[in-house]
Amino acid sequence: MEYLIHLAILFAIYAILGISLNLVVGYTGLLSITHAAFYGIGAYATAILLTYFGVNFFISVVLGIIIAVVISFLIGLVLSKFSGDYYALGSFGFNIIIFSIFLNWRGLTNGALGIAGIPKPEIFGVHFFSNTMFLIIAFIFLAVVYLAARFIVRSSFGRVLKAIREDEKTIQVFGYNALYYKLAIFVISAGMAAVSGSLFASYITYVDPSTFNLMESVFILVIIILGGLANLRGSILGALFLVLLPEILRFVGLPFDIAAQMRQVIYGIIIILLMLYRPQGLIGEYKL
């Protein structure tokens, strides 16, 4: 049972990441490859605040969101001026910058050694030491993020995002400032990603830079490409499949080192096949 709960917690974390990235890629049509950076910002914010300053976990989540929002606003001011391949390349570069900060700012992040001993959540004297209790927290955050994302995509704001995706120049003719909307959804998405980072840090009780590298951003992108672009349920489906995939390979009986490499191979094959035969994903509504 503990094993299944562990997988469920990881699923919740990656489902939040998938939903938040889908707002940018699927609904707005902006190919962002920097999501692991905001995931890492949330994780490091919680790790530092809990271990160095003894801040409550839930306060650290809020502060992590604020930090991610501020940083994403500054990054988004630059990225929002681009579109297409230039947007992707710009986000690629920012992911590398944030990863380098995690790796080299040793006085704050402890460099490659990472930060260990991160406490579990606690509120009103209730300690969430068990995985079952933590699972409840993770699914509450997932539900909040999902409902917030659904409200966004069904609102007039969400309709403008879809219009930008289809034809950015046309929406500007009607008086909408596309740059503002692109910046706003990028910031909102970053704040949501920071939540998953906070959950990851407190659950694993350890963070290091290798978790938030460029390949992690690619992995999150694969989640929404597989599940479905511009479909929130598709993000959940993609997260479920890719969290279970390594476990399926383990049960096949492959040696651990080979299974790890096969996972990367399968990710690549999935992307190639989807781009050829189902570019919008399994239940998606938009072709990348």
5-18 pLDDT, tens digit each: 999 999 999 999 99
Say whether pTM exceeds 0.85. yes
- Residue ranges covered by each domain of the chain: 2-213
Helix (DSSP H) and strand (DSSP E) numbers for the chain? 12, 4
Report yes or no: 35 and 20 within 8 Å, Cβ to Cβ. Answer: yes
18 phi and psi angles, rounded to 5 deg: -65, -45
Distance, in Å, from the CA atom of 243 to the CA atom of 246, rounded to the nearest integer, reads 7
Running along the chain, 288 residues long, what does each successive block of 10 average in pLDDT?
92 98 95 95 97 95 98 93 85 94 95 95 79 94 98 96 89 86 96 98 96 92 92 96 81 66 76 81 81
Closest CA to 185 of 25, 17, 13: 25
Distance CA 99, CA 182 (A): 23
